[in-house]
Structure 1
């Protein structure tokens, strides 16, 4: 048995060419519970550690920028847009790479890149030497790490568990990561208030390093390379994506939804919190309430069985507009938090059903490429939304900008329900 430099056992995952029944002796009926599967628990541990740090960064990055001399809505919009833009530009490249090499190795490399970017951001904030161009460059590197990580992560889960256990595996992963996010969010406001946003960013960098070490132990063999070029493989992925109406319709819906949600979380929400709700601690309560909801939603989605998963998933998008509308109306913090709780439940029911449907319906050899088109489409308007959020808030006020975001989410979701593919796709495992 191979060991890593610390002497811990390394876990070798069967090649994607190995039948899953052979990878688990005795077939699926003999498979151990997911909690006892070392491959799955190793992946879960890595994700939990990484997301714990991201819980800090989700609050800390916005308030780190706002705490710098001369910072305002425009500067905050620019930094968070620089983080979002490479996620859009490089995610298709990440999908092609993930279908050509070891997905776990690519995830570990992306974690190392993220650790370096957030570590440097933390150093800038802690030293007070934080030129805007430097922060933008580091934000680009952090976004690039996400672009490389995400398609590989989506494609790795079906290599670890059989198809009939994917929904439960996705639900357990989300329960673990959402619990970790909740802990990070719960501590982030206190950390920012007590010692500053720089230390919160430093903890995020450390979490990426630990995640890289854990993920590197998942030794997933690279797929044998054929004679086709990357461009050819990208076109093959596009054919898989565009041939399924349900897939591109929901991705188009989420291009609008994600832009509105990112504008709220990245810019408009913190601005309202700073001016009307009491600052970082109040905002951390609001986003922590959403995290509590996502834990409950993931647990529910891991067990629920629905005959039309995409119809249920799309309907679960409507609650996302409610807390944004309440923010626009300057509702009390407790009421916004309750709405965020409900939105969190619904969002993770959507997430588990959506991810599981893709993993079941898309051939494994093209899964990362199709996932990259999903990410590309869903993030396509996110940088624009972030760039416009600050100037729009300055021009018309944060309340009116938030009201527009809530209206966009509602309209896009209603439009997606018009698709016969969305309404009619039935689960194979009900």
Structure 2
């Protein structure tokens, strides 16, 4: 208990508390956004699933396309200002969507444009966040800082999933979009209140964006543990997207009693992520990437249980374990990234990390439906579990993954 109290002492740091509050409120806005956007668009006269698909694609595609550029921007300019700009652009985009729905002027091109600006803002925010944490948190407390930021983010995701549905039901999608815009705006103001040392740029030739990207790639590719685990996750996320996005809801509808059962599975995972924060606060392995990679094996559990027709309570328990493992993995991964990569390249490396990890996700969604038709949904779910296990085992073949050691800090 004394150790946890010492960890929570980081909350006495005003700068960290501001960053934590901004991140928590921003994630709450992001958790509101999907439900608000989906029901706001679908509630428009004449809107169809295709209308929603166009708007969502307009948001997600720029996020992928601009992720690497976002890393360059966050390494070139003060990350505080980059984050503030990203939050405020997100705020304007969602207020614009809300205004369109309030006024009834909702041309598809205008909604898609606003959504695209939100996607660009997210592409800038993520690399800047990864880079700004070591500027705020001392090196020996990075894991604690990442865990506490994870606690705020996970709490917001759980709360947002519940509250967004209530707000949409009571007052409609337009008001929910406005709430999202307000939260992003508040997050931007809190980031602006951070007091960080002046940004120092290295003297000399100003590089082109392409040169910066090449240097970021050099930092990324020179670390075996880094590119191996990102390659592992590019395959794993493909399986996770198939299982979570298509196969899980399909099995819940056909065999578990409908959407209520799938909501319970997702709730079990969400609770696991909250518990995982407290595990991550005190779990300090000497070989963090080895430990993080081993934690990927249990994440196959809920998919395997769904595939072998296990009772619902067992699937929920498996999802709870997945939530714990993924949260601890995330904290160990972020902390190691921030310790091992030079600060001046950290945002670019994190953008390569995000892009590589997520690039096959849409393919998983596409293949899931075909696989369910070719075999059946249960067998397809077992395939997803097998992909998780095999990709994780393959990553463990890397000496870099097995042998990277965490720095030793003096006990306090």
Residue number in structure 2 paired with 1:369: 348
**Alignment CA distance shift 1:363-1:107 (3 Å):** same
Residue number in structure 1 paired with 2:92: 116
Structure 1 window deviating more from structure 2 (239-248 vs 329-338): it is 329-338
Once the two structures are TM-superposed, the CA of residue 299 in structure 1 deviates from its matched residue by: 1.6
In the alignment, is the contact (CA less than 8 A) between 1:49 and 1:210 conserved in 2?
yes
Once the two structures are TM-superposed, the CA of residue 373 in structure 1 deviates from its matched residue by: 1.3
Residue number in structure 2 paired with 1:19: none
Q: TM-score, normalised by structure 1?
A: 0.80
Is 1:222 the counterpart of 2:199 in the alignment?
yes
Is 1:418 the counterpart of 2:394 in the alignment?
no
Residue number in structure 1 paired with 2:134: 158
Residue number in structure 2 paired with 1:259: 238
Q: Which of 349, 353, 367 is the equivalent residue of 2:328?
A: 349
In the alignment, is the contact (CA less than 8 A) between 1:310 and 1:422 conserved in 2?
yes
Residue number in structure 2 paired with 1:12: none
Is 1:243 the counterpart of 2:219 in the alignment?
no
Distance 1:124 1:386 in 2: 30
Q: Which of 64, 68, 77 is the equivalent residue of 1:92?
A: 68
Once the two structures are TM-superposed, the CA of residue 55 in structure 1 deviates from its matched residue by: 2.5
Superposition map of 1:367-406 within 5 A: 367-386=346-365, 402-406=381-385
Superposition map of 1:304-343 within 5 A: 304-327=283-306, 334-343=313-322
Is 1:207 the counterpart of 2:207 in the alignment?
no
**Alignment CA distance shift 1:249-1:184 (3 Å):** same
Q: Which of 28, 53, 60 is the equivalent residue of 1:52?
A: 28
Distance 1:119 1:398 in 2: 40
In the alignment, is the contact (CA less than 8 A) between 1:186 and 1:285 conserved in 2?
no
SS in 2 for 1:358: helix
In the alignment, is the contact (CA less than 8 A) between 1:77 and 1:387 conserved in 2?
no
In the alignment, is the contact (CA less than 8 A) between 2:250 and 2:377 conserved in 1?
yes
Once the two structures are TM-superposed, the CA of residue 86 in structure 1 deviates from its matched residue by: 2.4
Q: TM-score, normalised by structure 2?
A: 0.83
Distance 2:249 2:346 in 1: 36
Q: Which of 335, 359, 367 is the equivalent residue of 2:338?
A: 359
Residue number in structure 1 paired with 2:281: 302
Once the two structures are TM-superposed, the CA of residue 315 in structure 1 deviates from its matched residue by: 1.5
Distance 2:145 2:165 in 1: 31
Distance 2:123 2:265 in 1: 27
- Across the two proteins, how many residue pairs are aligned to each other? 399
**Alignment CA distance shift 1:273-1:158 (3 Å):** same
Once the two structures are TM-superposed, the CA of residue 184 in structure 1 deviates from its matched residue by: 1.7
Once the two structures are TM-superposed, the CA of residue 327 in structure 1 deviates from its matched residue by: 4.9
Residue number in structure 2 paired with 1:8: none
**Alignment CA distance shift 1:256-1:223 (3 Å):** farther
Q: Which of 40, 43, 63 is the equivalent residue of 2:19?
A: 43
Give the alignment's Cα RMSD to 1 decimal: 3.4
Once the two structures are TM-superposed, the CA of residue 56 in structure 1 deviates from its matched residue by: 2.7
Structure 1 window deviating more from structure 2 (146-155 vs 412-421): it is 412-421
SS in 2 for 1:99: helix
Once the two structures are TM-superposed, the CA of residue 83 in structure 1 deviates from its matched residue by: 3.4
**Alignment CA distance shift 1:32-1:394 (3 Å):** closer
